[in-house]
Amino acid sequence: MRLAENKRLGKKRRKPYRKSGRKNPEIDESVITAESIVDGRAARVIAHHGVAVLVRFESGEEKQVWLQPEQKAVVGDRVQVAGGRLGVEPAHGILRRRDPRGRERTIATNLDYLGVVVAPVPREPPGYIDRGFVIARAAGIEPFLVLNKIDLDEDNVLGDRLAEIYGPSAPLLRVSAQSGENVDLVKALLANDSAEEATTPYEGKLGAFVGPSGVGKSSLLNVLVPDLALRVGELNRGSGKGRHTTTTATLHSLAGGGTLVDTAGFKDFIAVDLDPLDAATHFPGFEGAGEAGCRFRDCLHRTEPDCAILAAVECGDVDERRHRSYVQLIEELETSDGRS
Ligand code: GDP
Ligand code: ZN
């Protein structure tokens, strides 16, 4: 629902707000919703501090806004700010993780891109990239692949192999966070803005990195966001030798447009629940073959009759090894409730 539609209603219902974050019996909590806050200034949540969030307006101005009791807002959320209150707009592109108790938590919303980062060392576990792609696409987020540490990729062996497998599915950016080589490609991807989207107050795309520990996600973030180290200090987050101990993500604008989520504190995004059907629909490499359509809408491309993917494997359009990787992922999802 467009926030503006409830303009009159919202004005009438606006109540004084409290900073304590505790329940106030005089406030009817039920009316404090996104719809009750109108003609506010559009902003985006760039950091979460428990009872308050830091938002950034179009002008670049930042402001801390207290959350109402029970109100939820996440980094990446588009909000309206009026009278010290926050209205959260419906989000897309939601990135989740699993907390230590096994519950799913939202890390960030409104993501356009998810960069799956890998490196010659350490190599990612088998199926890691595929899982990352499927998670992203199932959430409506466009994946891209980053091969970091190209200085260690002798004769471009790994880069060429990845290009062969994933080139037709998504952009592959071969970079070195250490030398800075090609990191401009990441910037260019995130700065990309269509004319239509340029009318929104948020320039460029919102992206995040995911990848196994040690592939260079923090290094990449530091190259792309030069003031990050400073900001880490400002936000009082523990940082020793580039290791973050933060428990919430933060958003960082890139100089040429685009925004990156600092997710360095999270390691297990890839462990969220996934439905085997998500994998069947979004597995990288099946795009073209899948367009032909299988007989069954919930086809898992294993032994089903009139399966477009199996037919493509048969005639060589889909590599048999890719299909085997796919079946392995499906089996993992079926035996582990989707958790890795
Ligand atoms: P993260 O765990 O994914 O955040 O990885 P880090 O950013 O902490 O990097 C892990 C290690 O890889 C560090 O020792 C970095 O110095 C190193 N590293 C990062 N980028 C590169 C690169 O492009 N080339 C090389 N050779 N080493 C890199
Ligand atoms: Zn099928």
Considering every ligand atom shown, identify the ligand nearest to the alpha carbon of residue 277 and give its number. 2
- pLDDT of 126 over the 80 cut: yes
The CB of 148 under 6 Å from ligand 1? The reply is: yes
Per-residue pLDDT, averaged over 70-76, amounts to 92
**Strand, coil or helix: what is 226?**
coil
- 102-106, 138-142, 256-260: the lowest-pLDDT one: 102-106
The residue ranking higher by pLDDT, 196 or 88, is 88
Predicted local distance difference test score (pLDDT) of residue 226: 83
Is the model more confident about 142 or about 240?
142
CA distance 88 to 276: 32
Indicate the average pLDDT of the chain: 81
Q: Whose CA is nearest to atom 9 of ligand 1?
A: 216
Q: Which residues partner with 327 through β-bridges?
A: none
The CA-atom distances, in angstroms, between 302 and each of 105, 137, 159, 255, 309 are 32, 21, 30, 47, 9
The CA-atom distances, in angstroms, between 198 and each of 40, 180, 204, 294 are 20, 28, 8, 38
Helix (H) or strand (E) holding 326: helix 320-335
- Measured from the Cβ of residue 110, the count of other Cβ atoms closer than 10 Å reads 24
Model confidence at 200: pLDDT above 50: no
**Mean pLDDT in residue range 261-278:** 76
Question: Taking a C-beta distance cutoff of 8 angstroms, is the pair 109, 103 a contact?
Answer: no
DSSP summary character for residue 31: G
Q: Decide: 242 in ligand 1 pocket, CB within 6 A.
A: yes
- Name the residue with higher pLDDT: 198 or 98: 98
CATH 3.30.930.10 fits 3-88, yes or no: no
User: Given this model, what pLDDT does residue 23 score?
Assistant: 43
pLDDT at 240 over 70: no
> Residue 251 above 80 pLDDT?
yes
| CATH of the domain spanning 95-270, picked from 2.170.190.11, 1.10.260.40, 3.30.70.100, 3.40.50.300 | 3.40.50.300
pLDDT of residue 110: 96
Three-state DSSP class for residue 137: helix
Ligand 1 centroid to 259 CA: how many Å?
21
Q: Is 219 in the pocket of ligand 1 (CB under 6 A)?
A: yes
pTM for the model:
0.82
Q: How is domain 274-335 classified at the architecture level of CATH?
A: Orthogonal Bundle (1.10)
- Which residue ranges make up each domain of the chain? 3-88, 95-270, 274-335
Closest CA to ligand 1's atom 15: 216
Q: Tell me which of 219, 224, 243 to substitute to probe ligand 1's pocket, judged by most ligand atoms within 8 Å of the beta carbon.
A: 219
The stretch 55-82 carries a mean pLDDT of: 92
pLDDT at 198 over 80: no
DSSP 269: G
